[in-house]
Amino acid sequence: MTAVPSAPGPGATPVERLPEQAYLRMSLVLRVGLGLALAILGVGIVAHILAFPNATSSSTLSSNPILPYLSLTGLASGLAAGSVDAFLTLGLLVLVATPIVRVLSGFYYFRRGGERAMTAITLTVMVMLVVGILVIGPLVR
């Protein structure tokens, strides 16, 4: 059985269209963010294996090298010192940040299109994301 397609019915609002550029830009944000994160993580994991040739899965799972780099100063000093694990932490942070940048990009296009309700919704999502990550994570650690 093939049902009738869900075409907009009577009283439906005209389809609001984001500009084609919004779709292309958001797709680009995702490709660049993911590519950058994977490049950092790929180089980092190879460097980690080379730096710790005797490491095993058990020793890896029983410790977490990310902990010293969870503050801005810790991460900055780790990167400056050339720490492989600080580098891996940076890759994870880029991966987490990619969807947030995508929301930011949506905010920009909704605002530019004068869509006040969608702009407010996107801004609320972004604020919740940033505040949640910056406040809740460190609080519950």
Partner 1 sequence: MELALFVALLVLVAIAAGLVGSLTGLGGGVIVIPLLVILFGAPIQIAIGTGFVTILATSSATGAAYVRDHLTDLRIGMFLEIATVPGALVGATLTVFLTHANLESALLVALGVVLLAIIPGSLARRHIELPPPLPQDARSRALGLTGEYHDKVLDRDVPYQAARTSPALGVMFGAGVVSGMFGIGGGVFKVLALERFLNLPMKVSTATSNFMIGVTAAAGAGVMVTAGYVNPIVAAPVAIGTAFGAFLGSRVLPTLSNRTVRILFVPIIALLAIEMILRGFGLP
- Asked if 83 is part of the footprint of partner 1 (rule: CB under 8 A), the reply reads no
- Asked if 78 is part of the footprint of partner 1 (rule: CB under 8 A), the reply reads no
Q: How far is the CB of 39 from partner 1 (least distance, A)?
A: 10
Q: How far is the CB of 16 from partner 1 (least distance, A)?
A: 4
- Asked if 6 is part of the footprint of partner 1 (rule: CB under 8 A), the reply reads yes
Determine which residue in the list 21, 55, 76, 112 makes contact with partner 1, applying CB under 8 A: 55
Q: How far is the CB of 77 from partner 1 (least distance, A)?
A: 17
Determine which residue in the list 21, 76, 112, 128 makes contact with partner 1, applying CB under 8 A: 128
CA distance 75 to 83: 9
CA distance 84 to 49: 10
CA 126 to chain centre: 12
Could you tell me if 47 and 87 are in contact, meaning their C-beta atoms sit under 8 angstroms apart?
yes
Those residues whose C-beta lies under 8 Å from the C-beta of residue 140, and which sit 6 or more positions away, are none
